[in-house]
């Protein structure tokens, strides 16, 4: 298998310098995704409302980048890909899980131009909500679906088969679709796939030209005004590596229209019409107006202040550092909390050389499986697609759903977690870091750049 994958990558050759071709999806170690078992060998199972996946062998491959030239292979992996500890990479190189040009090398090997690196991993994908991806419409050009929350659109970070793009193949037998736009992993709703590259380019151009009308529905904290509200504050990426934004004069132009649908005792259901497609646009504009989405894991953090983001233009540097440290804390505690399963070696999927086998990480709690933001309709010249509203937007479900989430969050906060030593050190360093760029990247950062969501 290794020889076949390496031979295929060699035939393609390294990417041309300065090439404008789109980057491939990247995996947990940052390497390009080029290998893996055929789809028929991937085994799904269900547990407690989640779609889970048994671990499987996978190959990440990439040609050496310019900035890696002359560095030792161990130094490069330990500093560029911090998903694992330096000790893991040292052992992986020695036993041949990490190879150069299909051969095992010493940890002191210095990387050369045109070297092809491969990393064989026992891949453990996080679970996602066990809800079907329903087809809203399909024809010879497009497949339009209703994406459940918690599922990334395409392979990225730690996710590959538990993504909308791959699940369309597993569930519906529709493979080789093209993405035209994205939604955040926690955002649910309308997602349009193209069946061929030409249609993908056509839809991408229509969205960039703003000839596609998009509507979302969300639930926000507080009593939203009864009259329509517009926000035209420019949006700036405050920290690329952690994937969050603020309003700032340095940002790109953005415009969103909002309209109140209904209110209850503490929250409001709001219709959102983004006219541009900036990263986290709806979430950032709502926060700036003083009405953050009720369960937003980023823009409702206490570190934003008593009135999160309201009228702040832009957020000050100290506050951005505090928010960055809080996000790093969330990521590290989530990824490092675990229990050790004594009987793991009895499983047919167990690998003795895998750092994840034998470790049971807690399932995501209910409030981390969904963001109260849903893409409800997309319209273009001669076409209109729409989904039903989500359960949390229904009037009869308002108070029980909110009470359930409050109780779930309180229970999670009371749990005791075990933090791996190198992860705890990373958390402490990131929390006190003077620079945003010193913080580690979340595993699913690529999934956060939704068009307007």
Positions annotated as catalytic residues are 184
Nearest to 287 by CA among 246, 238, 236: 246
Phi, psi angle pair for 94, to nearest 5°? -65, -40
- CA dihedral angle for residue 423, residue 429, residue 432, residue 433, rounded to 10 degrees: -120
Gap between the Cα atoms of 271 and 279, Å rounded: 18
Residue in the structure block whose two tokens are 């009371």 = 414
Q: What distance in Å separates the CA atoms of residue 208 and residue 180, rounded to the nearest whole number? A: 11
User: In whole angstroms, what is the distance from residue 356 CA to residue 261 CA?
Assistant: 46
Nearest to 158 by CA among 127, 191, 189: 127
Tokens 């068009």: give the residue: 451
Among all chains, which residue has been given the structure tokens 């929390």? 431
- The span from the CA of 453 to the CA of 443, in Å, is 19
If you count DSSP H runs as helices and E runs as strands, how many of each does the chain have, helices first? Answer: 9, 21
Query: 154: helix, coil or strand?
Result: coil
Contacts of 237 (CB under 8 A, 6+ apart): 243, 244, 245, 251, 279
Strand 267-274 to 142-147 pairing = unpaired
Distance of CA 247 to the CA centre of its chain: 22
Beta strands 267-274 and 339-340 are unpaired
DSSP 102: T
Evaluate whether 255 touches 231 at the Cβ level (below 8 Å).
yes
Question: CA 20, CA 284: separation in Å to the nearest integer?
Answer: 30
Provide the 3-class DSSP secondary structure of residue 224: coil
Residue 32: strand, helix, or coil? strand
* CA neighbor of 13 nearest in space, from 92, 88, 113: 113
> What does the block give as tokens for 139?
């024809």
Terminal-to-terminal C-alpha distance of the chain:
40
């Amino acid at each position: 298998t290794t020889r076949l994958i390496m031979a295929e990558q060699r035939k393609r050759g390294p990417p041309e310098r300065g090439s404008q071709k789109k980057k491939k999806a990247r995996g947990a170690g940052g390497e390009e995704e080029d290998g893996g078992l055929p789809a028929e060998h991937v085994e799904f199972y269900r547990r407690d409302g989640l779609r889970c996946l048994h671990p499987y062998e996978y190959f990440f491959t990439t040609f050496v980048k310019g900035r890696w030239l002359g560095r030792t292979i161990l130094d490069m992996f330990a500093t560029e890909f911090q998903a694992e500890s330096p000790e893991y990479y040292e052992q992986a190189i020695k036993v041949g899980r990490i190879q150069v040009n299909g051969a095992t090398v010493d940890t002191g090997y210095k990387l050369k131009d045109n070297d092809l690196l491969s990393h064989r991993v026992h891949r453990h994908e996080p679970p996602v909500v066990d809800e079907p991806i329903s087809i809203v419409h399909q024809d010879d050009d497009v497949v339009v679906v209703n994406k459940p929350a918690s599922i990334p659109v395409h392979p990225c970070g730690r996710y590959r088969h538990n993504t909308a793009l791959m699940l369309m193949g597993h569930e519906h037998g529709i493979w080789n679709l093209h993405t035209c736009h994205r939604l955040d992993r926690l955002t649910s709703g309308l997602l349009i796939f193209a069946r061929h590259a030409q249609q993908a380019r056509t839809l991408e151009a229509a969205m960039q030209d703003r000839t596609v009308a998009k509507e979302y529905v969300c639930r926000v904290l507080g009593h939203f005004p009864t009259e329509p509200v517009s926000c035209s504050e420019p949006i700036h990426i405050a920290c690329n590596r952690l994937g969050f934004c603020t309003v700032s004069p340095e940002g790109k132009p953005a415009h969103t229209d909002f309209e109140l649908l209904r209110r209850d005792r503490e929250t409001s259901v709001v219709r959102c019409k983004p006219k541009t497609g900036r990263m986290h646009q709806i979430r950032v504009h709502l926060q700036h107006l003083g009405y953050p989405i009720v369960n937003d894991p980023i823009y409702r953090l206490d570190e934003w202040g008593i009135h999160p983001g309201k009228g702040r233009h832009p957020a000050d540097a100290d506050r951005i550092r505090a928010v960055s440290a809080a996000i790093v804390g969330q990521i590290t505690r989530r990824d490092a909390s675990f229990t050790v399963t004594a009987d793991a070696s009895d499983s047919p999927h167990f690998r003795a050389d895998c750092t994840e086998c034998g470790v049971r990480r807690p399932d995501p709690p209910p409030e981390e499986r969904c963001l109260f933001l849903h893409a409800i309709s997309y319209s273009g010249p001669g076409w209109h697609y729409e989904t039903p509203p989500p359960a949390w937007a229904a009037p009869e479900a308002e108070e029980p759903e909110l009470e359930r989430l409050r109780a779930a969050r309180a229970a999670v906060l009371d749990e005791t977690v075990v933090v791996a030593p190198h992860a705890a050190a990373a958390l402490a360093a990131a929390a006190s870091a003077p620079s945003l760029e010193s913080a580690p990247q979340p595993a699913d950062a690529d999934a956060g750049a939704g068009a307007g969501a």
